[in-house]
Amino acid sequence: MRDLVEYATRDGVGVITLNNPPVNALGAGVRQGVADLVERARADGGVQAIVLTGAGRCFCGGADIREFGQPPIPPSLPEVIDIIESCPKPVVAALHGVAYGGGFELPLGCHFRIAAPSARVALPEVTLGLIPGAGGTQRLPRLIGVEAAVGVILSGKPVAATSALSMGIVDEIVDGDLVDAAIAFALACADKEGPPTRVRDLEVAEPEPGFFEDGRKKIARRARGLIAPWHCIESIENTTKLPFDEGLKKERALFLECRESEQSKGQRHIFFAEREAAKIPDVPRDTPALAIQSVAVIGCGTMGAGIAMCVADAGIPVRILETDADVLEKGLARITKSCEGSVKRGRLSEADKDACLGLIQGVTDIADIKDADIVIEAVFEDLDLKKEIFAKLDTVCRPGAILATNTSTLDVNEIAAVTNRAEQVIGTHFFSPADIMRLVEIVRGAETSAQTIATVMAMARRLKKVGVLVGTCDGFVGNRMYHHYTRQAHFLLEEGALPSQVDKVIYDFGFAMGPFAVGDVAGLDVSWRIRQRRAETRPADERYSPIADRLCEMGRFGQKTRAGWYAYEDGSRAPIADAVVEDVILGVSKELGFDRRAIDNDEIQERCLYTLINEGAKILDEGLALRSSDIDVIWIYGYGFPAHRGGPMFYADQVGLKTVYEALCRLAEVHGDLFVPSPLLERLALEAKGFKDL
C-alpha cells in the first residue's frame, strides 16, 4: 500500500510529502505519518531542517471532512501541529495549489511558509458550519493581525499567493522547482542562531477600539440564525484576551460544538451533495465531452444576456442572435452596464471587463451562428416559438452542434422532435439572474446522448455553475416543487393568513425571502403566463387560488410596477404591507366561503415545507431526479433554501420521515388530496428510514 506520507532526505533536509490523492486530505493515516516523520527528522543528527510539501495538484484540501461524526482517531490535527511547532529544527511549508482549512493550519504551525505562484490559502470552515479547529483562529491573527484574520476567516475565501506574501502569510514566492527552493530556504534558516520563531509566540496587535463590536454588527444579516460565524469572531477575539494555550482550548471547544451541530451537518451534506450531482450512473466520468470553443445564444432578453455574460466570463467567445436590432442594442448595453457595475464593486478588473465584453458579439442573421459548438436558445417561454427556432437551427447549425433550450417548464422532447438531432438536444434551465444564480438544471430528453450530457455538464462547471441533471416534466424538479409550495402559501391567504405573516415564517426558517416577496422580485406576470398556459389542462376539481390573478389583472406585477403582493416606494425594494392586497384577499376568502381564522406559524411552516418535501419524494419516485441530495442542491442553489438546513430532503430526514408522514396524513384529513403522502415517503416512514437510505 503506498505511503500516505513520504519521506526523503536531501542535502541534510528531511522532506516530508503528503501523498493522499486527490487533495491530500488530513485523514488519520496522514496525520500519523506527518507526526512520525517529523519526530524521525528531529531525531536524525544528519538532518538540519525539515520541508513539508504536498504531492499532486495541491498542498492540502484540509481535514478529511468524511471523518467528522466518526469516533476520533489520534493524533488530532492540533497535536500534529504542536509536534511541528515545537521542533527545534526549522520546518518550512512549501505550498502549491490549495492549502485550505487544516491544510492551511498545518503550515501556520510551521516556522516558515514559501509558495509557488499557484498557491492559494483559505480557512473555509465557516462555509461548512465550522470554525478553524486546529489553531487557525489563534495563529493567523498573530501572523497578520486581527483585522486581516477576521476577513480571511469570516469570508472563508481563498487568498492568492501574491496577497498572502503582502499580508505576511508566506515568506517568499518562488518560481521554478518549489521543493528545491524550500530546501535552500530551510538550510539558510538552519544556519541562524537559536530555535526558530513559533507563530504562537508572536504578539497580537490590539485592534482599533470597538473593532469586534463593529465586526459583529457587520455580519449580523449574513450570519442570521447561524452558529459558526459568531464562534469565529469569539475565538479570534480570544487572542486579545487569553494566552495562546487557553485560546487554543477554547477554540477546540467552539469547533467541537460546531462540528456536532445540525447546521454543520447540513452544510457538510451540501458540500458532498454538490459533487455527487456531477456523478451520473449512465454517463461515466470518462465519457468524452465535446470541446466547446464557441457558443451562440438566441435572444438578448434578460436571460439571454445573462447567459452570454456567464459564457464570456468563462473566456468562451459568444454570439448573441437577436433579430430585433433594438432589443439587441438594449441587451448589449445592459451587459456593458452590468460589467461596469462589477468593476465598480471591485468584482472585476478593468482588463477582465474588456476581455469579457470583447468575447461577446451581437448578430441579427441566423447564418452568423452556424459554426457554434453549442446554441443556447433563450427566447420567451412559448413552445411553438421554440419549436420554430429549433427547426431552423437544425438546418443551419453544423452537424454535431448541441442545441440547448433555456426553458423552465416546457417539454424538451417536443422541442427535440422538430429536429433531426434529438440526441444533441438538451434543456439548460438557467436560474435568473443567470450571471448570479449558480444553478443550472440540465434536462435530459428521452434521446439526449451521454456525450451531450457530459459536454453540457462540463460546460456548466466551466461557467462556474452547479449543474444538476433532471428528467423532463412540467417544471422539471425545482419549479414543479416550487409550484406546490407557493400554492400552499396562496391557500393559506384564503384561509386567514396575510403575505407578511407567511413570508416571516419562511424568513425565520432561514430563507432570504418568503414566497410573496420572491414573487414580487421575479415578477408576478411571469407565473401568471404559466398559469394561463396550464389553465386549459387544469382539472376542474383542482383547488386553485385566484388571488394572484386578481393582482395581475390590476397590473400589480411586483417590484417592477412598484406594487405586487406588497407596495414599494420609489427607489426602494423594501416591501410594505398594502391594504389594497388585503382587501383582495378578504374578498376572495368571502367569495370562496372561507371563515377566516388565525393560522399559527407552525401550520404555515408545515404546510409549505412538507408540501415541498412530498413533491420531492414524488419526483424521486418518478425517476426525475437521480438522488434526494440532487433535489437538495437544486433548492440550495436555485431557490435559496438555507444551506445550514441541508436542503428540503436532508431537512426531512433530520425532522424524521415518520414525523413528516404523520403531519401530511393529518393535513390530508383536513385539506384533502393536496397532502396525501407520496408512496415513497410513506414506505420510508413506515420502514423508519430516510431519503439518505435510498
Q: Which of 106, 134, 296, 619 binds ligand T1G (CB under 6 A)?
A: 134
Query: Which listed range, 130-138, 317-325, 443-451, 601-609, lies at the site for ligand T1G (CB under 6 A)?
Result: 130-138
Residue for grid cell 376542474: 540
Residue 371 Cα distances to 293, 346, 393, 395, 399, angstroms: 10, 35, 11, 12, 9
Contacts 24+ apart (CB under 8 A), 535-544: 543/487, 543/491, 543/672, 543/674
Residue 232 binding ligand T1G, by CB under 6 A: no
Known active-site residue 125: yes
Residue for grid cell 433532471: 470
Pick 23 or 92: Cβ nearer ligand T1G: 23
> Which residue is nearest to ligand T1G, using beta carbons?
101
Residues between 13 and 32 with contacts to ligand T1G, criterion CB under 6 A? 22-23, 25
Instruction: Tell me which of 6, 67, 105, 203 is the catalytic residue.
Output: 105
Q: Are 410 and 389 in contact (CB under 8 A)?
A: no
Pick 24 or 408: Cβ nearer ligand T1G: 24
d(CA 633, CA 655): 18
Minimum CB distance to ligand T1G, residue 75 (Å): 13
Convert residues 90-129 into a mask of x (bound to ligand T1G by CB under 6 A) and - (unbound): --------x-xxx--x------------------xx--x-
What are 440's three cell numbers? Answer: 443550472
Minimum CB distance to ligand T1G, residue 607 (Å): 36
Name the DSSP letter for residue 673. Answer: G
Pick 26 or 685: Cβ nearer ligand T1G: 26
Contacts 24+ apart (CB under 8 A), 332-337: 332/300, 332/305, 332/360, 332/362, 334/302, 334/305, 335/305, 335/308, 335/309, 335/360
What are 56's three cell numbers? Answer: 499532486
Instruction: Tell me which of 6, 39, 85, 125 is the catalytic residue.
Output: 125
Known active-site residue 350: no
Q: Are 505 and 492 in contact (CB under 8 A)?
A: no
Q: Are 598 and 495 in contact (CB under 8 A)?
A: no
Burial class (CB in 10 A: 0-12, 13-18, 19+), 683: middle
Query: Which listed range, 56-64, 234-242, 411-419, 465-473, lies at the site for ligand T1G (CB under 6 A)?
Result: 56-64
Pick 464 or 573: Cβ nearer ligand T1G: 464
d(CA 694, CA 626): 10
Helix ranges (DSSP H) in 515-568: 515-522, 524-535, 547-553
Q: Is 516 left (phi over 0), alpha (psi -120 to 50) or beta?
A: alpha
Q: What is the CA radius of gyration of the chain?
A: 28
d(CA 650, CA 656): 10
Q: Which of 284, 457, 473 is nearest to 374 (CA)?
A: 457
Query: Which listed range, 63-71, 304-312, 545-553, 626-634, lies at the site for ligand T1G (CB under 6 A)?
Result: 63-71
Minimum CB distance to ligand T1G, residue 219 (Å): 19
Q: Which of 63, 204, 283, 609 binds ligand T1G (CB under 6 A)?
A: 63
Residue 141 binding ligand T1G, by CB under 6 A: no
Pick 170 or 254: Cβ nearer ligand T1G: 254
Residue 380 binding ligand T1G, by CB under 6 A: no
Q: Are 120 and 158 in contact (CB under 8 A)?
A: yes
Pick 76 or 605: Cβ nearer ligand T1G: 76
Q: Are 49 and 84 in contact (CB under 8 A)?
A: no
Minimum CB distance to ligand T1G, residue 149 (Å): 14
d(CA 328, CA 278): 34
Minimum CB distance to ligand T1G, residue 587 (Å): 52
Minimum CB distance to ligand T1G, residue 363 (Å): 34
Size of interface with ligand T1G, in residues (CB under 6 A): 25
Q: Which of 14, 61, 515, 642 binds ligand T1G (CB under 6 A)?
A: 61
Q: Which of 65, 154, 360, 599 binds ligand T1G (CB under 6 A)?
A: 65
Name the DSSP letter for residue 687. Answer: T
Q: Which of 109, 132, 247, 616 binds ligand T1G (CB under 6 A)?
A: 132
Q: Which of 275, 337, 464, 666 binds ligand T1G (CB under 6 A)?
A: 275
Convert residues 498-527 into a mask of x (bound to ligand T1G by CB under 6 A) and - (unbound): ------------------------------
d(CA 297, CA 83): 57
Residue 244 binding ligand T1G, by CB under 6 A: no
Residues between 594 and 633 with contacts to ligand T1G, criterion CB under 6 A? none
Pick 77 or 633: Cβ nearer ligand T1G: 77
Q: Which of 15, 38, 64, 339 binds ligand T1G (CB under 6 A)?
A: 64
Minimum CB distance to ligand T1G, residue 100 (Å): 4
Residues contributing to the site for ligand T1G (CB under 6 A): 22-23, 25, 61-66, 77, 98, 100-102, 105, 124-125, 128, 130, 132-134, 136, 272, 275
Catalytic residues: 105, 125
